[in-house]
Each structure stands twice: as structure tokens, then as C-alpha cells.
Amino acid sequence: MFKLTTFRSRLIFYILLVSIFVGVALSLSFWHTQNILLSEANQQLIRTSRLLDTHLAEDRGELKRYVGIVRDNLRIQEYMYVVTEINAENEPLDKLFLQQFGWLPIDNRALTDMEGKIISGNTNDTIIEPSTLSEQEKINLRYVHTVDGLMLVASSPVYYLQQKIGYVVLSRTYNTSKLRELENISKGRVFITNKNIVSFSTIPSLLGKPMSGKRQNLSLANDNLMLTHIEIDNSLNKDIDFYFGVSEARLIDNIEQFRKILMFIITFGILGILILGLLFLRDFDKPIKKLLALTNDVADGKLPFANKVTPRNEIDVLSNNFSDMINSLREKQTLISKAQSELEILAITDSLTHLYNRRHLLEVFPKLQAQAQRDHSPLAAIIIDIDHFKNINDDHGHLAGDQCLYEFSALLRSHSRTNDYLFRLGGEEFLILTLGETAEGVHAVAEKIRKATEQTPVNYRNIQINMTISCGVCVEYPTDDNEQSLNSLLLHSDNALYLAKQTGRNKTIVHHEIDDEPNTLNP
């Protein structure tokens, strides 16, 4: 069974989980797009129709406001009076009207006399209805259906010195280009009907088609329009209606485009998550593996060299810290090894003379014995004792005695051979062990040392201290028994030494194995 015991496996699981979640979420969105968009389109239809309604209402309000501005202009009133009551030329009025109100964002403007005859402006008589004008006292608004388009007309009477002198008439036209503007705002289709017949539309095939407020849909040759009626004030013209429609084909195109985009997002989104996850996994996995190998080595007692890396994340920092830890351990281990070696040397050597001590003799002898047995060669021992050493201590002090011991050990070292083992057995007694020598050869070595000692006085605080030594030499083939061989060798050489001491000191005596009699070779 798949177990999430490692961070690697957990990370893989997590990436897969995220990918599946994203995939499922986007797929659900993909399959429900159509329903969502159709539902949204219906809402949008209602919202946009309200927006258009507001837009048309703003048009009406704006036009009404402009009429008020023109009507209340004192100079316009004055000039209209001059034209209508004094019958002066209307050019100054035209000039003034254009100069002061030419900027108004309207399509037509006119000033009329009391009979509705235009005295200034750029409109035709079709929008002027004298019957309507003569009745009104305030600003009047209405929709007028003309061949050029549906016109929103606003008019108001103009007074000069409390005398009604004419009318101001402004209009805005809803023709094909205006409908196209509305369609750009609403992203749909806008129609105008007159007595339930389409009278203005940007789609020529719709012109003349019957339409009623109850219709929800309108089928065209290649499309179907979802329709809604735009509310306008019926009192302005009860025959006129505005409709707003949204193309279903356009909606479906939008859905398809949305789906393509969604599919693209699904594919590349999941792929991106996987690639990023793998890259992250690789960055995470590599240093973890390296760390694991290092810890295994350390657990095995190794202290491997680990290179440090430029830290980019917490794992790099951890890895570097671990390398530092290993390096620190390695330094500590070197110090311990060095201390251990020194301790070992201290354990087997004499602290004054730096020669091997008796303990080391017990350790090294079995090796020499085994060597001698392998080579079928004898083992030789020279036991040396400094003559009358007690007198040196007594006469010159223990420090002088120590100096004599130190310098004698140096002499021993300089006159011995490479394969000789030098020991201080205790006090002023020394031992030289060597391998494969004849009694004559060993005797010669002992003699050489004895003579050198005799000829080399020790200088202690400018006092010459003369020393002599006595040597006992023994050469034997060792038996299989270590202890017995060592005891025998030491005993026999010690006997020879004893004899040398007994017979006057400053001499070397060899113990012959064969007749078991010490043989003195005096100088």
C-alpha cells in the first residue's frame, strides 16, 4: 500500500491533489459555462434595457434643460422681440443663436414666432406643431415620427417684458447612426416601432416587421434574438416603442470563446502545477538525499568531507550547518587522537630518559620472541647499571643524579643501533634488547657503551661528574614460553651484571648459556 512516510511522497501526493482539484474545478466550470452565461445573459438583458431606459430618460432631461437655458436667455428674448414685434431682420438673431447655443449637443434647433413660423434655426417644419405650441405654457416633450428618424422634441414659449413672443424648439434625432451608438453602448440590438411595426433598425430585414411588447424572441435568418421592451413615458407618444435584443449566436460564440480560453487554462494550468511541483521536488529531494548519506556516514563513524553550497533555502542552510558540524567533529577527533598517542607514549616510556619502561618490555618481548623464533636467531640482552650512582646523588644532589641519568640515556641512544630496544628498568638500571647477535657482537656493543660512558663526564653546574657502568650480557634462543624466555634472559644477564659488580665494576660480563658460567671479559 502507498504510504506517505517521506516528505517526497507527501509532496508528490500534494501536487497531484492540487492538480486534480484545479482540474475538477475548471472542468465543472467548463461544463456549466453555457447555463451560467445564458442565465447571466438574461440578467444582462434586463439590466441593459434599464440602462437604455435611463439613457433615453437622460436624453429627455438634457433636452428639457437646454430648452430652459435658451428660453431664459435675456438677449435671445430681446432679439426675438426685435424680429417678431418690430419686424427687423433675423440675421442678428441667427448669429446670436448660433454663437451662444451652437455648442449644444442637439440635432435641430429653432426659434419660432407665435404662429410657429421659424424665425431662426436649422430645423424643418415637420417637428413644429403649431397646435401643440399654442397650448403649452411650460416645457413640452414629445416623440415625433419622421422619415429621417424618430425625433425627441422639446419646446417652450419665450417671453419678453411679460409678453409671449414665440417659442424655442430643440430636437434630438434617433436615426440609424444614433441606434448604432446605442447598440455600441448596450452590446445588443435596438429597434424602434411605430404602431407595433419596426420603423427604425440597423438590420434592414427587420424594417416593416410586426412587433408587440409580449414577444420574448425574434427569429432572424441566421440568428435568434432574445428581446425585451424598453419602458418609455407613453404620454410622449403612445405609438412609439423601443426594443432591445441580444443575439443568441453571439452569446454562443462568446461561450465557445470562453470555453477555449478555459480549456487552455486547464491544460496549461495543470501542466504548470506539475512542472513547478517537479522542479520543487528536485530542489528539495537532492539536498535531502545528500544529507541522508552524510548522516549515514557519520553514524558509521566516518567523518566525510562535505562541500558547502550557496544557501538558497532552509535545506541548503541545514546542509551547510551539518558540514560545519562534521568539520568541527573532525578537528576534535584529531585532537583526541593526538592526545591518545601522547598518552600511549607516556604509558610505555620513562618520563626522565624517554626510554621504554618495564611495562613496555612486557608488551614488546612477545613480538621479539616470535620474530627470533621465526628467524631461528637468538635474543640478546645487556643489563647496565651505573656504578656508585647513590654516591652521585649524595655528593651532588638528586638533580645532578637526574642529569646523569638523562645524559647517559642520550649516550645509550647514540651508541645503539636502529633495531635495538632501550629500556630503563628502574633507578640506574638499563636494558638493551636486540635480535640475532652473537655474544661477541653484543659484548662489543656493551663495551663500546661502557668506554664511551667512562670517557664522557657529565657537566652539572660546571662540575665534571665522571661515571662508569657495569654491564651483564646474555644471548639465548627463546623457548615457546614468553615469560620463561624473558625471565631466563633477564636472570642470566642480571647474574652476569652481578658478577661484574662483584668483580670490581666498570666492566662487561657475558653469561654463556652452554656452561652456564659467567665469562668476564675485562678491559
| Least distance (Å) between residue 227 CB and another protein | 54
Task: Please say whether the beta carbons of 30 and 266 come within 8 A.
Answer: yes
Task: Give the three-class secondary structure for 1.
Answer: coil
In the bound state with another protein, the residue whose beta carbon lies nearer, of 161 and 343, is 161
Instruction: Give how many residues touch another protein by CB under 8 A.
Output: 12
Please select the residue that binds another protein; options are 82, 98, 273, 364, rule is CB under 8 A: 82
Binding to another protein (CB under 8 A): which residues in 480-519? Answer: none
* Window of 38-46, 73-81, 325-333, 334-342 that interacts with another protein by CB under 8 A: 73-81
By CB under 8 A, residue 445 contacts another protein:
no
Interface pattern 29-68 for another protein (x via CB under 8 A): ----------------------------------------
168 closest CA partner among 62, 63, 70, 60: 70
Binding status of residue 89 toward another protein by CB under 8 A: yes
Q: Which is nearer to another protein, 79 or 430 (CB)?
A: 79
CA distance 216 to 49: 13
Element (H, E) at 413: helix 398-415
User: Considering only CA atoms, which of 379, 373, 342 is closest in space to residue 361?
Assistant: 379
Q: How far is the CB of 79 from another protein (least distance, A)?
A: 8
Nearer to another protein, 121 or 518 (CB): 121
CB of 218 to another protein, least distance (A): 56
Supply the minimum distance, in Å, between the C-beta of residue 93 and another protein. 9
86 touches another protein by CB under 8 A: yes
Tell me how far, at minimum, the Cβ of 72 lies from another protein, in Å.
17
Question: Using CA atoms, how far apart are residues 79 and 85, in angstroms rounded to an integer?
Answer: 10
Closest contact distance (angstroms) between CB of 245 and another protein is 52
418 lines the binding site for another protein (CB under 8 A): no
Q: Does 28 bind another protein (CB under 8 A)?
A: no
Name the residue nearer to another protein (CB basis): 61 or 92. Answer: 92
Return the bridge partners of 247, or none: 225
Nearer to another protein among residue 81 and residue 242 (C-beta): 81
Region near another protein per CB under 8 A, out of 89-97, 364-372, 412-420, 514-522: 89-97
Spatial separation of the C-alpha atoms in residues 491 and 125, rounded to whole Å: 158
Q: Give the shortest CB-117-to-another protein separation in angstroms.
A: 17
Backbone angles phi, psi at 172, to 5 degrees: -130, 135
Task: Report CA torsion sign: 72, 77, 79, 80.
Answer: positive
- From the list 126, 161, 167, the residue with the least C-alpha distance to 147 is 126
Residue-wise DSSP of 92-124:
HHHHHHHHHHTTSS-SEEEEE-TTS-EEEES--
Q: Do the beta carbons of residue 256 and residue 284 sit within 8 Å?
A: no
Name residue, grid cell 461561450: 255
Whole-angstrom distance, CA of residue 468 vs CA of residue 457: 9
Interaction between residue 78 and another protein (CB under 8 A): yes
**C-alpha span between 475 and 437 (Å, rounded):** 8
CB nearer to another protein: pick between 160 and 423: 160
**Residue tagged active-site, from 183, 231, 428, 483:** 428
Cα separation, 38 vs 251, whole angstroms: 8
288-317 binders of another protein (CB under 8 A):
none
Which of 92/427 has CB closer to another protein? 92
* Min separation Cβ 109 and another protein, Å: 19
* Listed ranges 86-94, 198-206, 265-273, 289-297: which one lies at the site for another protein (CB under 8 A): 86-94
Strand, coil or helix: 477: coil
Taking the complex as a whole, how short is the minimal distance between the CB of residue 74 and another protein, in angstroms?
Answer: 10
- Crossing angle (nearest 10°) for helices 248-299 and 314-348: 0
Which grid cell sits at 110?
Answer: 429653432
Between 87 and 222, whose beta carbon lies closer to another protein? 87
Out of 2, 5, 87, 282, the only residue in the binding site for another protein (CB under 8 A) is 87
Nearest residue (CB) to another protein, 93 versus 226? 93
Taking CB under 8 A as the rule, does residue 92 contact another protein?
A: yes
Q: What does DSSP say about strands 463-465 and 469-476: parallel, antiparallel, or unpaired? A: unpaired
Listed ranges 77-85, 133-141, 239-247, 386-394: which one lies at the site for another protein (CB under 8 A): 77-85
Sheet of strand 379-386: strand arrangement: 421-426, 429-435, 379-386, 469-476, 508-511, 518-521
Report the number of secondary-structure helices (H) and strands (E) in the chain.
12, 18
Residues 137-196 that bind another protein (CB under 8 A): none
Going by C-beta distance under 8 Å and a sequence separation of 6 or more, which residues neighbour residue 113? 83, 84, 119, 165, 166
In the annotation, is 428 catalytic?
A: yes
CB of 135 to another protein, least distance (A): 27
How far apart are the C-alpha atoms of 292 and 306, rounded to whole Å?
Answer: 12
Question: CB-wise, 62 or 78, nearer to another protein?
Answer: 78
Rounded distance between C-alpha atoms, residue 145 and residue 174, angstroms: 10
Nearest-angstrom CA–CA distance, 279 and 105: 62
Specify the stretch interacting with another protein by CB under 8 A; choose among 2-10, 90-98, 457-465, 494-502.
90-98
Residue 95 binding another protein, by CB under 8 A:
yes
Binding site for another protein (CB under 8 A): 78-79, 81-82, 85-89, 92, 95-96
Q: Which residues are catalytic?
A: 428
